[in-house]
């Protein structure tokens, strides 16, 4: 007991000492920052005055060259000072956060070549003495901090830039510090750390994802710090922390990139939807890093094709899942256009364009053939390594250069023609030139009919029955291919593109034209990987040629198709990164043990999820005899969840149509919101949301609505029930009228009410 008091006194005193250092550094930084701001304002004023003074004279003359040098002397320090102000401002923000909780852990580590154990404190950011360079607190991303996440008491090591460092750990301690006060601490073995994690997980969900630096698990840390692989693929169960791991990995790479010049604009996150982007938006800033670029597939389609009118991913899923709108041919078309065979057809088509589909025409100038169609085709076909648009551009330049060589002679002929026409005898020169311009404009217009490609119009030609079968020769096509061709031809009559056709056209654009917007991207993070198909990954491969990839998915959460582990083999093949690995995270931290076990019934095969084991209420099934009684039971459960002070209560429906219908019935009974679009929305309070919009999110209480046999009957529907049920942190309730879904049972003890 005495030792505990001594340790407690020591830790309280140490915290006070650290807080004082932070305050001192804050004071110095604020003073320095204020002085630099004054200096910048003064320099700007001086530069403006100097510029104004010299504006009347010829500043750009040789005589006043020295004036330019003087202005540059103002500008250079000004730019440096502004950069320094920004750096200091970021440091000030970091220190202000540290005042609340400077660190969360400590290890005692003895290096092999030393006799004494060193106290290593670990926090969200480092704290260093600027003069002596002594480390008071180590950033959680620092090499030595990995010991905390990966080792218990005993021998340990970490990998530093200089090589592997070995030693011994004799203490692992974790702290709860709030508002600069030490609430409690404990010496952590695995069991105690699990209890700490349970406490963290038992808290209510937030509308924004939180950082997990205090609770990163060993297997998660290995993924976060992996810098050897060009492609890391993570197959993670629902609630295994995939997204958190990905974002903390981004933060780690940016921290490590201080020496390798990896910045926020070198990283991009591919997000499934705007709601997900919003949900994760706080993580990197909380970790002290700038938010990186985030893109949805819709953004990519728009940037590449410049199209505005196409079906979004959410609208595509809505049509796919809506039983009332379900179209067998529509589904077949989507499935076919997502398979590797269709990618091969598109590749063949792109290669075939200059051979058969571009209508080269003989080019005439001054009454003579300048270039025949045969020679033009031969010229374009010659350099197959260059993009087709580049080859066609070069052809256009060649033709126009040839025209230019003969233009003087042509103008002479036109002058003679004008001169012979007495109407223009006094305007001979001007009229000849106008005729020449008219001729050239008409010629360019004719040339560009085959040098400037309309990819949408070309894509239409692919689905000509005779041509399609010729280009798909030798391939295994679906039995309903004729129906798919008819369906596609009918849709392509309109400007509005179906999602799968928008993807195909995007791919063709990237195959045919130059697109270098993302050449600076070095790291790409793709979440919800299972919801992308071969065509998506082909697009990613072309868009980010120099990037390493971190890809996270769960084959058990696929919507609209069936997937197995071969998905990751396919991704590896398409992206073509030799150094690649697949990591599996089977432990779920999100759900209570009761919810996790219940959710497993929706998994196919022998899939086993290792639940962290946090306890809670058993899931319950509620049957409504009538629509009114059904709605009343939902309203009562909402009130019950509110009574438990849950911050987010999500009513999950299969489709947007179902969500809208339920909302219209409940809005008069209880305060509730509808989340149905692709835009930003508040995911706190009580709301109704389609199942595809809920992916990647988590809520305190989940109510799965309309769980009848009409809505959830197919094997794909079974997967939807798994997705919906695993959104719940603490409480899960299921509601239905009519005949219950065949995947649910009311006979299980404790699961009906």
In this predicted model, what pLDDT tens digit does every residue of 252-294 receive, in sequence order?
999 887 656 788 889 999 999 998 999 888 898 888 888 889 9
**281 vs 424 pLDDT, higher one:** 281
Residues 6+ apart with CB under 8 A from 619: 594, 595, 598, 725, 732, 733, 734, 751
Interior/surface letters 362-385, b for 16+ CB within 10 angstroms, e for the rest = ebebeeeebbeeeebbebbeeeee
| Residue carrying structure tokens 């040339």 | 447
Amino acid 364: pLDDT: 79
pTM score: 0.87
- At 208, the pLDDT band (50, 70, 90 cuts) reads confident
**Across residues 43-72, what is the average pLDDT?**
55
Residues 6+ apart with CB under 8 A from 293: 264, 265, 267, 268, 269
**Across residues 490-500, what is the average pLDDT?**
91
Amino acid 65: pLDDT: 46
304 contacts 501 by C-beta, under 8 angstroms: no
Q: From CA 300, how far away is CA 316, in angstroms rounded?
A: 16
Amino acid 748: pLDDT: 46
Q: What percent of the chain has pLDDT over 90?
A: 57
Amino acid 144: pLDDT: 96
Is the model's pLDDT at 191 over the cut of 60? no
**442 vs 595 pLDDT, higher one:** 595
Amino acid 62: pLDDT: 47
- At 461, the pLDDT band (50, 70, 90 cuts) reads very high
Amino acid 674: pLDDT: 96
Amino acid 583: pLDDT: 96
The residue ranges of DSSP E strands in 413-519, in sequence order, are none
**Across residues 153-172, what is the average pLDDT?**
94
**562 vs 226 pLDDT, higher one:** 226
Beta bridge partners of 583: 234
Hey, is 560 helix, strand or coil? coil
- At 59, the pLDDT band (50, 70, 90 cuts) reads very low
Q: For 618, which DSSP code?
A: P
Amino acid 415: pLDDT: 60
Amino acid 8: pLDDT: 92
**360 vs 42 pLDDT, higher one:** 360
Residues 6+ apart with CB under 8 A from 192: 186
Residues 6+ apart with CB under 8 A from 616: 592, 593, 594, 595, 730, 731
């Amino acid at each position: 007991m005495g030792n505990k008091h001594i340790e407690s006194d020591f830790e309280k005193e140490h915290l006070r000492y650290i807080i004082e250092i932070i305050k001192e550094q804050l004071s110095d930084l604020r003073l320095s920052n204020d002085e630099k701001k004054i200096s910048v304002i003064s320099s700007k004023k001086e530069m403006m005055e100097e510029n104004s003074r010299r504006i009347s004279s010829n500043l750009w003359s040789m005589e006043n060259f020295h004036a330019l040098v003087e202005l540059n002397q103002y500008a250079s320090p000004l730019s440096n000072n502004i950069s320094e102000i920004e750096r200091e401002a970021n440091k000030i923000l970091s220190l202000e956060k540290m005042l609340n909780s400077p660190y969360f852990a400590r290890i005692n580590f003895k290096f092999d070549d030393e006799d004494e154990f060193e106290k290593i404190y670990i926090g969200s950011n480092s704290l260093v003495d600027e003069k002596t360079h002594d480390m008071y607190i180590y950033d959680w991303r620092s090499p030595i901090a990995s010991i905390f996440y990966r080792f218990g008491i005993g021998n340990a090591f970490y990998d530093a830039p200089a090589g592997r460092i070995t030693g011994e750990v004799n203490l692992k301690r974790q702290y709860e510090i709030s508002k600069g006060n030490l609430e409690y601490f404990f010496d952590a073995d695995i069991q105690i750390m699990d209890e700490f994690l349970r406490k963290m997980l038992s808290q209510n969900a937030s509308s924004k994802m939180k950082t997990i630096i205090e609770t990163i698990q060993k297997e998660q840390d290995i993924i976060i710090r992996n810098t050897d692989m060009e492609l890391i693929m993570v197959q993670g169960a629902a609630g295994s922390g995939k997204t958190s791991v990905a974002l903390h990995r981004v933060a780690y790479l940016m921290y490590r990139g201080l020496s390798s010049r990896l910045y926020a604009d070198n990283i991009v996150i591919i997000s499934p939807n705007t709601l997900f982007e919003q949900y994760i938006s706080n993580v990197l800033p909380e970790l002290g890093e700038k938010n990186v670029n985030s893109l949805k597939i819709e953004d990519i389609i728009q940037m590449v094709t410049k199209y505005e009118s196409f079906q979004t991913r959410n609208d595509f899923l809505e049509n796919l899942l809506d039983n009332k709108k379900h179209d067998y041919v529509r589904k077949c078309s989507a499935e076919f256009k997502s398979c590797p065979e269709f990618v091969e057809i598109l590749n063949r088509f792109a290669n075939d364009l200059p051979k058969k589909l571009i209508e080269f025409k003989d080019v005439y100038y001054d009454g003579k053939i300048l270039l025949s169609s045969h020679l033009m085709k031969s010229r374009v076909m010659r350099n197959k390594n260059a993009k087709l648009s580049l080859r066609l551009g070069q052809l256009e330049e060649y033709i126009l250069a040839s025209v230019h060589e003969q233009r003087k002679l042509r103008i002479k002929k036109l002058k003679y023609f004008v001169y012979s026409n007495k109407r223009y005898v006094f305007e001979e020169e001007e009229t000849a030139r106008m005729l020449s311009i008219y001729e050239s404009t008409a010629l360019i217009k004719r040339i560009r009919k085959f040098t400037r490609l309309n990819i949408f119009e070309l894509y239409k030609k692919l689905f000509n029955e005779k041509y399609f079968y010729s280009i798909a020769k030798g391939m295994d096509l679906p039995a309903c291919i004729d129906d798919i061709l008819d369906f596609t031809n009918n849709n392509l009559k309109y400007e509005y593109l179906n999602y799968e056709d928008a993807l195909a056209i995007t791919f063709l654009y990237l195959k045919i034209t130059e697109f270098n917007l993302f050449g600076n991207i070095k790291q790409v993070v793709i979440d919800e990987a299972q919801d992308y198909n071969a065509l998506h990954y082909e697009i990613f491969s072309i868009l980010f040629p120099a990037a390493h990839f971190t890809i996270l998915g769960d084959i058990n959460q696929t919507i609209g198709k069936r997937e197995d582990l071969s998905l990751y083999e396919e991704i590896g093949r398409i992206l073509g990164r030799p150094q690649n690995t697949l990591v599996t995270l089977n432990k779920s931290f999100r759900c209570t043990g009761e919810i996790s076990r219940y959710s497993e019934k929706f998994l196919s095969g022998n899939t086993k999820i290792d639940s962290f084991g946090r306890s809670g209420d058993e899931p319950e099934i509620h049957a409504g005899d009538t629509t009114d009684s059904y709605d009343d039971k939902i309203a009562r459960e909402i009130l019950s969840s509110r009574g438990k002070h849950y911050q987010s209560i999500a009513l999950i429906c299969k489709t947007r149509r179902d969500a809208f219908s339920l909302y219209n019935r409940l809005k008069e009974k209880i305060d509730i919101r509808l989340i149905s679009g692709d835009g930003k929305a508040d995911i706190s309070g009580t709301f109704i949301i389609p199942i595809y919009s809920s992916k990647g999110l988590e809520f305190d209480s989940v109510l799965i609505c309309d769980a009848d046999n009409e809505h959830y009957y197919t094997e794909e529907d079974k997967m939807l029930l798994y997705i919906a049920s695993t959104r719940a942190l603490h409480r899960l309730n299921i509601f239905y009228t009519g005949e219950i879904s065949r995947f649910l049972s009311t006979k299980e003890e404790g699961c009906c009410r």
